[in-house]
Amino acid sequence: MKKALIITAVLAGIGGTLWYLYNQVRLLKEYCMEFAGYKIIGASAKAVGMEIYLNILNKSNLDVTVTGYDIDVFLDNRFVAKIQDIAHQLIRSEAKSRLVLPVNFAPKDLFKGIKVFQFIKNIAFQPENIVIKLSGTLSVKGGNLVTLKNLPVDYTATLRELQQGGEPCYY
């Protein structure tokens, strides 16, 4: 009888832990991303280096570390750059954390197949017509128990929205 109670208690503990982790992973997958700014690191006729800052709202109770990302950057449905890195960045539990994405691209790729004058005019006078999209995946690890690879990233905003701070995340 004692043995059955011990086994039941152990199984209940394991089941409770698994249920908790399942719910935390579900909440982790419901993260929210908002644009927080950018910084030009360097620019020349051959290359532009910049950092894009995103705030990530982690709704789970787990602190997680971004262990890698593979994100494509599109400007008006044209591929501009690929962001890939394995730099570790901490995302705090139940809070907003800053994710820094280094972006490097060639200016010639930005203007490939478009009318440069129209593009510059849209940037200056009609930023609501310039659509920026980030599409790809994040890999995250929470402690020794939770590892998520290929967590989807899908963020789209117009240049005007980004100039105004983007769409905010709420808990």
Task: Give pLDDT tens digits for 95-112.
Answer: 899 989 888 888 777 777
* Percent of the chain residues topping a pLDDT of 70: 92
pTM: predicted TM-score of the whole model, two decimal places: 0.78
How is the chain classified by DSSP, letter by letter?
-HHHHHHHHHHHHHHHHHHHHHHHHHHHHT-EEEEEEEEEEEE-SS-EEEEEEEEEEE-SS--EEEEEEEEEEEETTEEEEEEEE---EEE-TTEEEEEEEEEEE-HHHHTTTS-HHHHHHHHHH-GGG-EEEEEEEEEEEETTTEEEEEEEEEEEEEHHHHHTT-PPP--
Could you report the per-residue pLDDT of 50-102, keeping only the tens digit for each? 888 889 998 988 888 999 999 999 888 888 889 988 878 899 988 899 989 88
Contact 32, 56 (CB under 8 A): yes
CA nearest neighbour of 54 among 100, 86, 85: 100
Backbone dihedral angles phi then psi of residue 60, each to the nearest 5 degrees: -90, 170
CA–CA separation, 34 vs 152, rounded Å? 14
Domains and CATH numbers, the chain: 2-163 (2.60.40.1820)
Alpha-carbon distance 58 to 87, whole Å?
19
